[in-house]
Amino acid sequence: MTDSPSQRPGKRERLVEAAVRAFHEQGVEKTTLADIARAADVPLGNVYYYFRSKDLLVEAAVEAHCDRLTALTNRLDALPDPAARLKALIEGWVGQRETAARFGCPFGTLATELDKRDDGLDLAAAQVMRALLDWVERQFGELGRPDARALAVELVAAYQGMSVLTNILRDPGLMAAQGARLTSWIDALAGS
């Protein structure tokens, strides 16, 4: 609401976007409000008009990840069959392998960092992760697998794990190779 008429996205939106990016690239703890303000082209003092504390900006960043996930799954739901949806999900991950090699999974690294903080935002992050698991589980369920939940955990864990390794070793090729493995794994499961 309340976008001023003849301007680029409102300051609030710019701040959240800058925060998401900075948290991904530098981590929450190393990111200062000055960093975010500069990236969003908003004066430092003015940040506090939109977010009364840094924690509230972190919370907004988590919500942004949640929205992003919802948008993604909505797009994937347009695909005809569940196997295609899962493979498209993997393809999306692999497509981000260069930034993953540099900064890790945008959501995974954030959630991991939140688990070491005092704020209660780790719970919100867990909710988002559960939403992803639920969606993946639904796809495996539509494929007729009774062990859909376990397979969902296996797939998402494989992604998080290859993100960690890709990041630590700075090797996007690792994610490409593991992505290919997961894709043929989906094919094998769907074909059986």
Partner DNA sequence: GTCTATACGCCGATAGAC
Partner DNA sequence: GTCTATCGGCGTATAGAC
CA–CA distances in Å: residue 133 to residues 128, 140, 165, 188: 9, 11, 21, 20
Neighbours of 77 (CB within 10 A): 12
Query: Contact with its own copies (CB under 8 A): which of 49, 130, 144, 187?
Result: 130
Length of the chain: 192
- Span near its own copies by CB under 8 A; candidates 11-19, 47-55, 71-79, 121-129: 121-129
Return the one option of DNA, its own copies, none that residue 177 interacts with (CB less than 5 to 8 A, by type).
its own copies
111 in contact with its own copies (CB under 8 A): yes
Consecutive H or E run containing 144? none
Q: How far apart are the first and last CA of the chain?
A: 49
| Distance, CA of 139 to CA of 85 (rounded, Å) | 8
Least distance CB 103 / its own copies (angstroms): 7
SS3 of residue 52 by DSSP: coil
Return the one option of DNA, its own copies, none that residue 48 interacts with (CB less than 5 to 8 A, by type).
DNA
User: Per the structure block, which two tokens stand in for 94?
Assistant: 């692999």
Return the one option of its own copies, DNA, none that residue 126 interacts with (CB less than 5 to 8 A, by type).
its own copies
- Residues 4-23, mask of contacts with its own copies (x by CB under 8 A): --------------------
| Distance, CA of 76 to CA of 132 (rounded, Å) | 12
Nearer to DNA, 11 or 87 (CB): 11
> Which residues contact its own copies (rule: CB under 8 A)?
25-27, 29-30, 103-104, 108-109, 111-113, 115-117, 122, 125-126, 129-130, 150, 153-154, 156-162, 164-165, 167-170, 174, 177-178, 181
